[in-house]
A and B are shown apart, each in its own frame.
Chain A
Amino acid sequence: MSKRFIVSAESTPKLPRHAKLRFDKARDKWIILAPERVFELDHVAYEVISRCDGGRSVEQVIDSLCEKFDQVGREVIMTDVTNMLQDLADKGFVVT
């Protein structure tokens, strides 16, 4: 990491090399593994993170979430996703 990643609609977030997304059988949830840290994902966080493959932009991630959760307003989803990704980026769990 050499400079802070600021999440925008065009950025294409993904997990950094040192972080791994996997399903944890023993605890029955999705987790991100990173050095000295385990980030347990709730249902919503998993839906977001699993779409961040480095190819899709934040905009496209939001589109896809809007399709799946069509009862929730786009504004709400956009705010939630951006905040969550920025928070994860600052903790080193998401890069561009």
Chain B
Amino acid sequence: MSDVIEQGTKASATVPVADRVVPYALLAELTHRCPLQCPYCSNPLELERSSNEIQTEDWLRVIDQAAEMGILHIHFSGGEPTVRKDLEVLVEHAGRVGLYSNLITSAVLLTRDRLERLRDMGLDHVQVSFQGTTPDIADRVAGFAGHKKKLQAARWVRELDMPLTVNAVMHRQNLHQLPDMIDMAVALDAERLEVAQVQYYGWALRNRAAFLPTREQLDEATGQVEEARSQHKGVLVIDYVVPDYYARRPKSCMGGWGRQFLNITPSGKVLPCHAAESIAGLQFDSVKDKPLAWIWEESASFNLYRGTGWMPEPCRSCDRREIDWGGCRCQAFALTGDAANTDPACELSPHRDVLEMPLKESNAAAPDFIYRRIGA
């Protein structure tokens, strides 16, 4: 997920209203249930069981509160959000309060009827994830034979005249399929192709050596994206980010901790980023106990790394500190053991050398996947 705020004005990226920062987007993880077992899944290692999921009324209340706060986008995600039978009700409610709704789905459980119903309830956009362009690779990565169904469902989306994003998580085992992926997105008549990189925490960190591409693979891919962008200008928008480990400066993770984005887990915990639970020792408030606005503005977890006050050197005196906000806290934790360190994706980080070992692994044979499973 990479919310981009574009402006027709020169104002700063987040707009403080009376000294408050107003969030833009809410990622609603309705459930952790999912028929797929992607070894890079961004869900936590400890998956939430369905008995812990919050109820329809809770989500309806949260949607009201989100709109009230000035949130603009709601992404229904998971796990697989279509597992929830109340998805239609939530989509309809989001539309009623003016939120732009996006369904982030693996699409393997969708029927044409259900898609049509969701559209009629006001669903604004559908994002279908693909694990490759051929069943042999895609189904092996997903641990599930779903590739053909995904293609079918993506076609339904366009037949029903809904906008489509193809989300492709690319890594060392499928990066050679990137040109085919671009062609596939064009053939499916998608508006947007998101070439996502694996983010290494949780499940993906366990599988890092199986996923991290080599520098050569990556340079080739970057060239292909640039070419495709000019070839398909005005037809297909391609979002592409270089994996952090090969970057010289980190990306602005979530637009800064507690600045644009919040994530609600299936059990109702509110996180500044979908991976924030990977940081040991943090406590997160729940929508069952507190209003969303309070959690956003007052809670300890949101204020911990908000702004620049928490920053160590070299970030503290760096002129990029309000551009990338010191990078990703989850990655800093995963790689250095302390979330308050500069993200090692930055060349200026004193911990930059932690990337040597994984980068070396990317040139060795890829190990087997550890698949995402409840209780794995």
Once A1-B236, A26-B69 are accepted as A-B contacts, the answer to whether A38 and B24 lie under 8 Å apart by CB is yes
Assembled-state Cα–Cα distance A62/B189 (Å): 32
Which of B194, B233, B237 has its CB near the most chain A CB atoms (within 10 A)?
B237
Task: Evaluate whether A40 and B3 lie within 8 angstroms (CB atoms) in the complex, with A1-B235, A35-B127, A90-B233 already known.
Answer: no
A37 surroundings in chain B (CB, below 8 A): 3-6
The reply to whether the CB of A68 lies closer than 8 angstroms to some CB of chain B is: no
A17 to B11, CA, bound (A): 27
Q: Which residues of A contact B100 (CB under 8 A)?
A: 20, 33-35
- A16's contact among B69, B73, B163, B235, by CB below 8 Å, is which? B163
Closest-by-CB residue of B relative to A89 is: B234
Tell me the chain B residues, 79-117 only, with Cβ under 8 Å from chain A: 98, 100, 102
B226 interface contact, C-beta 8 A? no
B186 to A, closest residue via Cβ: A2
Closest-CB distance, B48 to chain A (whole angstroms):
25
**Cβ of B150 to closest chain A Cβ, rounded Å:** 18
CB distance B72 to A31 under 8 Å?
A: yes
Which residue on B lies nearest to A88, using beta carbons? B8
A27/B17 contact (C-beta < 8 A), A41-B8, A90-B234, A91-B6 known? yes
| Additional 6 contacts, C-beta under 8 A, given A28-B17, A35-B163 | A1-B234, A2-B235, A5-B234, A35-B125, A40-B9, A42-B9
Q: List 29 A-B contacts (CB under 8 A).
A: A1-B236, A4-B235, A6-B234, A16-B163, A18-B124, A18-B125, A18-B163, A20-B100, A24-B70, A26-B70, A27-B17, A28-B17, A33-B100, A33-B124, A34-B100, A35-B102, A35-B124, A35-B125, A35-B165, A36-B192, A36-B194, A37-B3, A37-B5, A38-B6, A38-B72, A40-B15, A41-B9, A42-B8, A89-B234
